[in-house]
Structure 1
Amino acid sequence: TPWVLLCFSFPSSTPFLQLCNGGSVTDLVKGLLKCGQQLDEAIISYILYGALLGLQHLHNNRIIHRDVKGNNILLTTEGGVKLVDFGVSAQLTSTRLRRNTSVGTPFWMAPEVIACEQQYDYSYDARCDVWSLGITAIELGDGDPPLFDMHPVKTLFKIPRNPPPTLFQPENWSRGFNHFISQCLIKDFEKRPSVTHLLEHPFIRQVHGRDMALQKQLADLIQAQQHLGSVAKTRHERIHTRRPYRVDASDKYSPDDDLVNLEVLDEETIIHQLQKRYADLQIYTYVGDILIALNPFQNLSIYSPQFSKLYHGVKRSSNPPHIFASADAAYQGMITFNKDQCIIISGESGAGKTESAHLIVQHLTFLGKASNRALREKILQVNPLVEAFGNACTAINDNSSRFGKYLEMMFTPTGAVMGAKISEYLLEKSRVIKQAVGEKNFHIFYYIYAGLYHQKKLFEYKLPEKKPPRYIDNDTGRVMHDIISKESYGTQFDAIQHCFRIIGFTDEVMHSVYRILAGILNTGNIEFAAISSQHQTDKSEVPNAEALDNAAALLSIGSEELQEALTSHCVVTRGETIIRTNTVDKAADVRDAMSKALYGRLFSWIVNRINTLLHPFNDKAIAGMNVGILDIFGFENFTRNSFEQLCINIANEQIQFYFNQHIFALEQMEYQNEGIDAPMVDYEDNRPLLDTFLQKPMGLLSLLDEESRFPQATDLTLVDKFEDNLRCKYFWRPKRVELCFGIQHYAGKVQYDAYGFLEKNRDTLPADIVVVLRTSENRLLQQLFSSPLTKTGTPYLPLLWRSLKTEHPEETTNMKRQTVASYFRYSLMDLLSKMVIGQPHFVRCIKPNDDREALRFSQERVLVQLRYTGILETINIRRQGYSHRILFDEFVKRYYYIAFKAHETPLPSKESCVAILQKAKLEKWALGKTKVFLKYYHVEQLNLFLREVIGRVVTMQAYTKGWLGARRYKKLKEKRTNSAIAIQQPPLCPTPAMPLSPASYVFKGYSQQEG
């Protein structure tokens, strides 16, 4: 066909192409526009006619072009139209009439092609070329495709969501041209016409009978443009999922990507900038080296492997802000500095912290490609599994983390991922037995119920089909309906089973876990009734034994022993055992305490087992490095806030203090110590409030522990004690509400309901229950209650006691028993000890509205979050200050390759540091008494410079080793050749005086002895 560029080849000759020296249609259009002209519609229809004929030829031969655009339609000086560049074309077959690879150039890609990147079951046919041709038609009219002013990667999530594009000013063009474009750009490709149908479109049919005249007119136009020499180059690059992104050098860094670059620095300007970016689905923004992430409340197609390749070891300004960039910064910092890193994700509940943590793990797994693919798969399954057991639906977040998680990904010195470890903190066990209005229990209970229902195994696990267990029932009465009808629950159960198996849990262990979960649900259904006794003491019994028997059977313990442990307890006094009965309320409390303990210890065991299965073999972990990711429950302020919210908010106060120390306090202290002239930035220091909580002996948690030790204490006496001792501006007590107190947190005022504080803090688990559970025939359950608790309240599970004592342990009111507040305090200490080891990277998650609506930006809500997180102050100090302070000795040791030769040993002096900085062509740095002070972007530039230098050294070493190896091989080959020649020389004939030696006999095939 004359409409497709042909390639000729003769035997024993080099292939060659037809010459198209008229340039591309893009060059022609841009040249005309530069002169204030535009293509005539008749010429446009002629060019499109040629492109359609070329596509028809390809499609008839079952070939999809997949990269139709103006730059791929070339012109000859005679006015001929040629379709070119088949680099990403696809051949269809009789058995495969569709493709599912997402390839092409972003601005021209069809929605269905983009969708294949995320939806692996999606596919498309040859009509994707029709969409691209429609975009090309707009390009012929306007000079550029739609969205041309955006970064190419941003168009990938704009195109599927935007309505079909049109010409910039449709009214300036004919109705026929507009209609042709609208037909090409039908978003549902099943309804989009084929190229054969479009050849019959009135706008194209006008070419018939005029093709020779239009060709001559086009040739004259080409000649006139070439005479003017007006040729403009475009920046649009093709992308392909099977190879890395290519980002053109003409893609400039946008100052809008970093709030530090704002000329006017005030709250109104910052809010306006964030709102503008959010409207364009640019949810990420930098504040120096800190990332702000706005929750989009919708799925975005910007987290595929294609994007992972884009954010891999490149300069930060090469791409738009992204969560992958923060992960890459931590990874590159670990490799370059041989130092552990820590990524701290913070924000309110519902701001998107858990999803951000998941994306960071995904990208770190991509960056640290392990030789063992199974290991990468295991690490990717960790988050979904622990989230199923540790997350729940709350009033403001459908997937709220109800525990703190610190995930350490372990890497070899060369950067390959080799394992992972999770540390879990303060699981909200009380959720197992009761949830607030509008909230749910942990996800796993609904997943397992739905999964067992669809597998018809509810009877095996003794779960009812009609009425839901008490622990997951709610006021709506729709729990069972949702479990049965919602496909998502059953799908999630299948996903959790998949996670278990990929990580390495056996089917036997999974069965034990399910039995314990079902046992918890049946335990919640055990009810008690009061019975009278001859001693007139309160006593309880289980009137309906079905739930009791079910729970005992699932937990593999005796039914009678369980009933006895629930309705009575033993006290040992002076060697005598006294059995005391429990009231109905006391028995219910014991039942619920048992359920909480079962779930809490099971969760800890699962985390511990994951750590065992993902721990590196041998002693590799000792020589390796870590990147830690902190995903902790966000700040919470509900209608009713209890003990759980207090602990959660104290943890967030600690994280905020760590942020303040790293960003403000330590930095400004070093300016003073090193004599650096830098402005001081005022910030809200929450250290006094943190002392109010954690100080001993008069801090809030210490007062709570003290009151918990008094048997006669009540929640009211606790609040009175708070009021008497916490005399500071952060504490207040509302009038007319006895059991309430208020705290002025860094994130705002929160009023707490103290009802149940003491009981929750004591978290009493009767010793009789522990003894009964230790007798279980379920080995997993037996192990859970045979292990001592650590200081953070989690079982020390690696230790399994061989001999289990069956006598009654000490009464649980023993004063040596730790409280939840004590466990919480040690948990914070443990968490901070892990965080301070590494170099921190901060991700600030922001919730744009409280209704979880996509694209709705509440200025008031965002402003409140920006204020209490200190973003304005952070922008100030990042703009004016020096975020990196490095000792002269360390700086020279780290970067001396940049300015000195490998064999040189420069002194760790100011002069050496200056030489390195000048060689790297950096500006706006400062030198203190003992340290180099750098801006946040200096370190990235130095690292890239160093990587380039080391890369050249490695290349030189490779060439040298190759040359030496070749030289050795050449000498060895010559030696072997000479030896072979010597062996083949005939032996000298012996004389009579020279008898043959035994060796000569052997050489001839016989020995002297054989003679």
Structure 2
Amino acid sequence: EGLNVDELEEPGTRYDLGEIIGQGVNAKVHKATDSQSGGKQVAIKIQILTDDSRPDIVDEYRILRDLSDHPNLPDFYGVYKKVEENGATQIWFVMQLCKGGPVADLVRATVRQNKRMDEIHIAFILREVIKALTALHVNHVMHRDVKANNILLTEAGEVKLVDFGLSRELDSTFGKRRTSIGDPCWMAPEVVTSEGDKTQYDNRSDVWALGITAIELGEGRAPFQDMHPTRALFQIVRNPPPTLYRPANWSQNYNDFIAECLTKNPEHRPYMIELLEHPFFSNIPTNDLHLNSELKILLETITEEDKAGRTREVIVHSGLVKKNQETQPEPMFVEDVAALEVHSEDNILHHIESRYKKGMYYTFVGDILLFLNPNRPLNIHGYQLSNKYKLKSRSENEPHIYSVADSAFQDMLHHGVPQHIVLTGETMSGKTTQFRHLIRHLLFLAKLSTKTDEKILKALDIIHAFGNAATPLNNDSTRHILLSQLTFSRSGKTSGIIFWLYQLEKWRVTGNRNPHHANFHIFYYLYHGLAAKGLLEKYQLESGRSYCYLRLKIDDKDKDSKCPAGPRENVDTSSEKFSKISQYLSDLQFEESQIEVIWKTLAAILLLGEVDYKDDDDGNADIKNEEIVDKVATLLGVESKKLSWALCNYCVVERDTAARRRHSKAEALEARNVLSQALYSRLLDWIINILNLKFSFSRAVYGDYNCITLLDLFGFECYEENGIEQLFVNTVNEQLQYFYIQKIFISEMHEMEEEGLPFKKCNFYDNRSTMDELLNKPIGVIHLLDEANRLHQDSNFLISGLNKKAEVAHIKACNEEEFSVAHFTGKVTYNASAMVSKNRDFLPPEITDVMRFSKEDIIKQIFTNKLSKTGNVTLLVDKTSTISEDVGKKRWGTALLADSKRNIRRFNTASRGEFSQTRGIRTAAAVFKAISLELLRVLTEGSTHFVRCVRTDLTGTPEGFLPNVVRHQLRALSVADTARAKLIGYSSRIPFEQFLERYQFLAFDFDENVEKTKDNCRLLLIRLKMEGWYLGKSKVFLKYYNEEYLSRLYETQVKKIVKVQSMLRAFLAKRSVQHKKEINFLHKIFISVTSRTIKSKDEAAVIIQKHLKGYVIRKIYGPLIHPDSGKMNEETAMFIKPYFQKWNTRSLYQILIQYKAARHVDLVYFCQQVHLYNQNIVSSLRTCDKENIDLKRIQANVDAKKFIGEELPAVWKIPFNIKDLPVCDSSLVCE
């Protein structure tokens, strides 16, 4: 009964192959001519015979042989075998040629004409397909590939179901199969999940495919058609069945037919033969021949463009995907590892490694993004991709950093709560690069017509220049914690940004034990940039690059070729960056004097590193090179003698009497270093504050109702020798891991337990005990550092305190100078020898006092203003952050200030200042604890989106991948535990009242009174046909994909509502304008009629006389212009000339009067502006009434042009052009 391939005939020269009219995954279809049948045109399906394709060929042959006599199946003429020259065997199936082509072409042609298929035609096509499928099912055949591309139309408009390559014969009509195979968009849920004997499926899977085809005929494309196969399969199984995009545009019967076909439970889905009784087909007349004729006419509208728009087919078979006949099936790696059946480390590592090697560096873990750093620039970002991901759901596109930004942006607008994006990972994992991509995409989503976006990006480049440095592993390593709070108006447009920079690694300024730790980028930009411009001498610097803080002299024994080259080595690049940073500061409206002070301060820091000391006879420190101090004093605008004294001396108070003391050489060096560190860190604080101030006005104008906060910071580090810098860095990362665990695991399980949900506890590593031993009293490392400083102890105190800990402690002393910490990423050993001295971070008040008397206002401010809890210098600005209503009605206009009656978000202003710079000075550890608390406080307000960055190798090799390195990080980041938690847990937990307020309109009528109860929540979810949810005592528990589906549905409906509202508003506006026009027209008619009726007889007589006299005079003189010559005669011209001159002169006089009036108005405006400026100065002076201002400090000889600009020259003569002047009324000449 089967097909014996070896005995098949050769086609020979009987068939003349023509063009390819169809191409699938396993075969191509040619149009051909049969020479033995009088030139009859046929279709030949050609398929390569292989061991894998043999069963498909045999079953297709049986079906065509036995069932082709059905009117809705193609006629079958024979099968042949042809052996190619390369040895490949082709099987030729010769069938009826359906010249109309696939129904999909007809649907595309209709959509292209901005039309849609008539429902009667859709019903007719579907009915004919059901007849064909019913015949197949009755004969124990399951089609498994029903779609519009496989439904053909003949030249006469008849419907034929073709392509039986995936079809299989069953044991009976109700027989079952268990192979997961098919085109992803048309696969039924039970086919997708089929595996083994437990999850078989029957021929009702064809009913599901028919429902998808019904949507395809209406919309022109199938649901999930543009998605990756893994995404489509994920959506089919986990989300409600798809529907028509606009169900209201179609009949209820059509919608109901689709809903019946797309029932997810196959046991509740009808059989194919039952569908013929559906009311959707009741409108088809018994005599339906005219429908064939109508389809035949419609076929004429199909163009080559419609045929070219055919989508390429894809076949999924048991986890493999095949895209064409030439290639072998490829493994199908999921884009969301939470969808894996086995969540082991090995399985996850295998999947992400396979994706990585194919250039897919992003992978989802539920709603968390995992990024594997390829150590090279990627060409997968930019405008086109930003547009592709704009306002899309996470499942619509492949995993990408833009999808995280897009989700955060949509959640911000959707829920109205602050959003946070946290990037974590080891050093060299690509966090900062991803941070930049996030910022760019958010600015793209909320683009405003102003230049705010460009300014934000320039501000970020400035911050990175000052806050980044090269390390032995990374040539652009972030050496700070940067919270960037993007603010948005109520409509979602960018209004500004607030920067919060914490925990700057200021010790890097003065040196590091490892010579490969370079200084901050800006020092190299400055030096190389000034050298390139020949300006070193201006800033008291010398050539030769020999400055200590530049750390350019590395011994040959310390050189390492594996260390990446940074700004320290790339001189040309550094000079270019200096010019760019200078330009960016100017673009952000920094004054030239301010920029000069910045460069002078940096140069002074470089020179401070050259200040050397010597011991005098008493063992006290004296400055060896006073000329260097003179240069520093000149640059900082302080007195050289006072600075020299402060660097070598200090005062103590004994019995209410101040006594002078001398520094030892070690103490003097420490004071010098602390001054350098303080200068740099506070200068950067000042720059951050000024940037925030620059953006505060746009935030006040446009509003900052919404915000998205992005957290970028230094990654986890472990070097050969680690100090207090690495301790702080790793403790922050430890704390963020603790926050992640609390957010993903603990809080979810706690809520599930409170709400009475049955749950299975997840296994995960909880680093709570490590955090306690790092931060808590009395034996936490950070606390012991403070205690050592308070008790004036050295590192021995720290080590002895750690020795008292329990044996099971995560922190243990290794020897007299080292201790180890068992971090979540592994064990790290720290050298404690210099920790206590660095933690002291004490700047002598004598040095602070010297700086406060600087001639430079910036230096004076950064050493006078108070410090915040987090150790940042605050900025003195006006007390109010809103624009006064008194100014609202002035010439600035109310539109500009209409949205500014609420307080805007505060930045680091004087209101945050709590600590003096000379009294009660805190240690670095105390500041660090305050920063840790502040980070947690910010991140716990609102929703959080995580981006987990993974370092792929140890040397930064492009496309390098070390499985053990990646495995270690996956374990540390709890990726496998997270995947399990996302699959079985409920990441979205919404109170009943909030849930119904947000989503009730999706399932209830607008005028329906919906009580906020548990039963109504259940009813809403049931009406939406959602699965996987659970109702607790007071909350709705949703899977992460449930929340995404609801949000997408919500946004879709809101867009429709907004469109209806806009159209209705436009209609009302047009009607209102038309109504006003009608009223004005009627009013004019009324005035005209009224004016005519109220004229007296005398007035009427005058009008008649005027027109009569004019007629008589014109009759006598004739036209002024001679009809033949086209010129005016001389007598007439001379008569008119004086009147014309009088009229022209009068017009010019009127113009001069108007010009004079305009100048008077400008004068009034100028006086008002002077008055406002005076008021502002008086108000500012009143804020200083508590301070005594030394009159000697007031600079009376300041040039006013520096502040108000160059004086514009007076305009003595206006270049009037007589021809361009508007003329006055000619009646004026009659005066």
**Structure 2 length-normalised TM:** 0.59
Q: Is the 8 A contact 1:787 1:800 kept in 2?
A: no
In the other structure, the counterpart of 1:579 is: 660
1:650 and 1:384 map into 2 onto residues whose CA distance is 27
**Cα distance between partner residues in 2 of 1:512 and 1:497:** 12
**1:692 equivalent in alignment to 2:796:** no
Decide whether the 8 Å contact of 1:448 with 1:493 is kept in 2. Answer: yes
- Counterpart in the other structure of 1:378: 455
Contact 2:401 2:434 survives alignment (8 Å): yes
Q: Secondary structure at the match of 1:749?
A: strand
1:441 pairs, out of 498, 507, 519, with 519
Query: Structure 2 vs 1, CA of residues 974 and 517 (structure 1 numbering), >3 Å: closer, same or farther?
Result: same
Q: Which residue of 2 aligns with 1:64?
A: none
Deviation at 1:777, TM superposition (A): 0.9
CA-CA distance at 1:403 after TM superposition: 0.9
Shift of 1:723: 1.6
* Distance in 2 between residues matched to 1:233 and 1:963, nearest whole Å: 37
- Partner Cα distance (1:657, 1:722) in 2: 22
- Would the alpha carbon gap of residues 531 and 31 (structure 1) be closer, same or farther in structure 2, given more than 3 Å must change? same
Classify the secondary structure of the residue corresponding to 1:35: strand
Which SS does the other structure have where 1:263 is aligned?
Answer: coil
Deviation for aligned residue 1:382: 2.4
Deviation of residue 39 (structure 1)? 15
Q: Secondary structure at the match of 1:743?
A: strand
Superposed displacement of residue 231, structure 1: 7.9
Q: CA deviation at 1:990?
A: 8.0
2:836 aligns to what? 758
2:810 to 721, 730, 745: 730
RMSD after superposition: 3.4
In the alignment, the residues of structure 2 paired with residue 422 and residue 483 of structure 1 have an alpha-carbon distance, to the nearest angstrom, of 27
Which runs of 5 or more structure 1 residues have no equivalent in the other structure? 1-20, 42-148, 153-225, 238-251, 802-809, 1005-1011
For the residues of structure 2 that align with 1:503 and 1:906, how far apart are their CA atoms? 52
**1:925 maps onto 2:1029 in alignment:** yes
Aligned residues: 766
Would you say the 8 A contact 1:349–1:633 is kept in 2?
Answer: yes
1:968 corresponds in structure 2 to 1072
Q: Mean alpha-carbon deviation: is it higher for 769-778 or for 493-502?
A: 493-502
Q: Which residue of 1 aligns with 2:351?
A: 273
1:654 partnered with 2:739: no
Aligned-pair distance for 1:23? 8.4
Q: What do residues 439-493 of structure 1 show as CA deviations (whole Å, max 9, x unaligned)?
A: 2011110111111111111111122211421111244279999868632212221
> Which residue number in structure 2 is paired with residue 160 of structure 1?
none
Aligned to 2:1041: 937
Q: Rg larger in 1 or in 2?
A: 2
Distance 1:477 1:382, change over 3 A: farther
Partner residue of 1:625? 706
Aligned pair partner of 1:497 in 557, 579, 582: 582
Q: Does the CA-based 8 Å contact 1:418-1:616 persist in structure 2?
A: no
In the aligned structure 2, how far is the partner of 1:741 from the partner of 1:797? 40
Evaluate the alpha carbon distance shift between residue 547 and residue 234 of structure 1 in structure 2; reply closer, same or farther with a 3 A threshold. Answer: farther
Equivalent-residue separation in structure 2 for 1:39 and 1:489 (angstroms): 66
- Pick aligned residue for 1:257 from 335, 349, 373: 335
Amino acid at match of 1:738: E
CA distance in 1, matches of 2:1092, 2:404: 79
1:35 to 2:46 alignment: yes
How has the CA–CA distance of structure 1 residues 426 and 988 changed in structure 2, closer, same or farther, with 3 Å as cutoff?
A: closer
Q: Match of 2:571, as an amino acid?
A: K
Query: What is the distance in 1 between the residues matched to 2:1080 and 2:706?
Result: 47
TM-superposed CA distance for 1:996, in Å, is 9.5
> What CA distance in whole angstroms lies between the structure 2 residues aligned with 1:889 and 1:485?
60
Matched position secondary structure for 1:635: coil
> For the structure 1 residues 569 and 657, does the alpha-carbon distance in structure 2 shift closer, same or farther, using more than 3 Å as the test?
same
Alignment correspondent of 2:413: 335
Residue matched to 1:144? none
Aligned to 1:309: 387
Identify the residue that residue 819 of structure 1 maps to in structure 2.
923
Change in 2 beyond 3 A, CA 1:518/1:732: same
Of the candidates 340, 365, 378, which is equivalent to residue 300 of structure 1?
Answer: 378
Are residues 521 and 989 of structure 1, via their aligned partners in 2, closer, same or farther at CA, if it must alter by over 3 Å?
Answer: closer
Report the counterpart of residue 311 of structure 2 in structure 1: 235
Q: Identify the residue that residue 205 of structure 2 maps to in structure 1.
A: none
Q: Work out whether 1:898 is the aligned partner of 2:1002.
A: yes
User: Take 2:552 and 2:368, find their aligned partners in 1: how far apart are those partners?
Assistant: 42
2:427 match: secondary structure: coil
Which is further off, 738-747 or 720-729? 720-729
Q: Shift of residue 846 of structure 1?
A: 0.2
Contact 1:257 1:321 in 2 (8 A): yes
**Larger RCO (CA under 8 A, 6+ residues apart):** 1
- Quote how far apart the aligned CAs of 1:775 are: 1.4
Letter in structure 1 aligned against 2:615: A
Which residue in 1 is equivalent to 2:650?
Answer: 569
Aligned in 2, Cα 1:967/1:811: closer, same or farther, shift over 3 Å? Answer: closer
Closer/same/farther in 2, CA of residues 439 and 454 from structure 1, 3 Å limit: same
Q: Does 1:884 align with 2:988?
A: yes
Matched, 1:530 2:530: no
- Correspondence 1:763-774 to 2 at 5 A: 763-774=841-852
State the secondary structure of the residue aligned to 1:985: helix
Distance 1:40 1:792, change over 3 A: same
Look up the match of 2:474: 397
> Counterpart of 1:852 in structure 2: which amino acid?
G
SS of match in other structure, 2:827: strand
Structure 1 residues 561 and 151: CA distance shift in structure 2, 3 A? same
Point out where structure 2 has 5 or more consecutive residues left out of the alignment: 1-17, 31-43, 49-81, 86-225, 230-301, 314-329, 560-564, 880-914, 1108-1231
- The percentage of aligned residue pairs carrying the same residue is 32
How far apart are the structure 1 equivalents of 2:822 and 2:1075?
81
C-alpha displacement at 1:967, in angstroms? 2.9
Assess if the C-alpha contact under 8 Å between 1:267 and 1:863 holds in 2: yes
Q: C-alpha displacement at 1:871, in angstroms?
A: 0.7
Q: Distance in 2 between the 1:753 and 1:418 partners?
A: 46
Q: CA deviation at 1:956?
A: 2.0
Kept after mapping to 1: 8 A contact 2:495/2:699:
no
Q: By how many angstroms is 1:24 displaced?
A: 8.3
Instruction: Say whether the 8 Å CA contact 2:487–2:699 is kept in structure 1.
Output: no
Q: Specify the SS of the correspondent of 1:837.
A: coil
For 1:688 and 1:470, the matched residues in 2 are separated by 42
1:870-926 per-residue CA deviation (whole Å, 9 max, x = no partner) reads: 111000010111110100100000111211233334111123222332333321111
Q: Please say if residues 428 and 474 of structure 2, whose CA atoms lie closer than 8 Å, have aligned partners that are also in contact.
A: yes
2:677 corresponding residue in structure 1: 596
Structure 1 pair 988/563, CA: closer, same or farther in 2 (3 Å)? closer
Residues 106-121 of structure 1 aligned to structure 2 (within 5 Å)? none
1:704–1:465: structure 2 CA closer, same or farther, 3 Å change rule? Answer: same
Find the partner of 2:723 among 629, 642, 652: 642
Distance 1:348 1:552, change over 3 A: same
- Is 1:472 paired with 2:533? no
- Please state how far the C-alpha of 1:495 moved relative to its aligned partner: 2.3
* 1:503 CA displacement: 2.6
Counterparts of 1:672-711 in structure 2, within 5 Å, are 672-711=753-792
Letter in 2 for 1:950: V
Indicate the residue corresponding to 1:849 in structure 2.
953
TM-score, L = length of structure 1: 0.71
Matching residue of 1:186 = none
The one-letter amino acid paired with 1:851 is: T
Deviation at 1:590, TM superposition (A): 1.3
1:989 to partner: Cα distance: 7.0
- Label 1:841 to 1:27 Cα distance change in 2 as closer, same or farther (>3 A): closer
Of the three residues 539, 544, 555, the one matched with 2:636 is: 555
- Give the AA of the match of 1:409: L
1:718 to 798, 804, 809: 798
- 1:591-647 per-residue CA deviation (whole Å, 9 max, x = no partner) reads 111111101111111111111111244756876111011112111111111111111
